[in-house]
């Protein structure tokens, strides 16, 4: 699968399925494509929404990583990191 197919068949459906679930926990989910063990991966970056704790509580981050988001999606590894507020 080339990167264009991966974006259409894996990245976009993943984002559509999980964006609101993560948002309901008070965090925004940015999503990119990485490369992991010779395959494309989904790279999730979490940022707090207004009035959400920064940094994220460890138990909530673990819940998002282990219960809300899958560790794999359509065969792709899902890597999740908390990046906090990006200051410009």
Please, is 37 exposed, middle or buried when counting C-beta atoms within 10 Å of its C-beta (0-12, 13-18, 19+)? exposed
CA angle 70, 75, 77 (to 5 degrees): 55
The model's pTM: 0.93
How many CB atoms are located within 10 Å of the residue 2 CB? 7
pLDDT for residue 88:
79
The 3-state DSSP class for residue 47 equals strand
Q: With 90 as the cut, is the pLDDT of residue 47 above it?
A: yes
Distance from C-alpha of 6 to C-alpha of 33, rounded to nearest angstrom: 9
């Amino acid at each position: 699968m080339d990167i264009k197919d991966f974006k259409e068949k894996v990245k976009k459906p993943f984002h559509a399925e999980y964006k609101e679930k993560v948002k309901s926990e008070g965090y925004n989910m940015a999503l990119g494509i990485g490369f992991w063990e010779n395959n494309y991966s989904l790279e999730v970056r979490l940022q707090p929404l207004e009035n959400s704790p920064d940094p994220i509580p460890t138990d909530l981050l673990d819940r998002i990583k282990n219960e809300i988001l899958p560790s794999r999606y359509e065969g792709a590894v899902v890597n999740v990191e908390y990046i906090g507020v990006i200051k410009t």
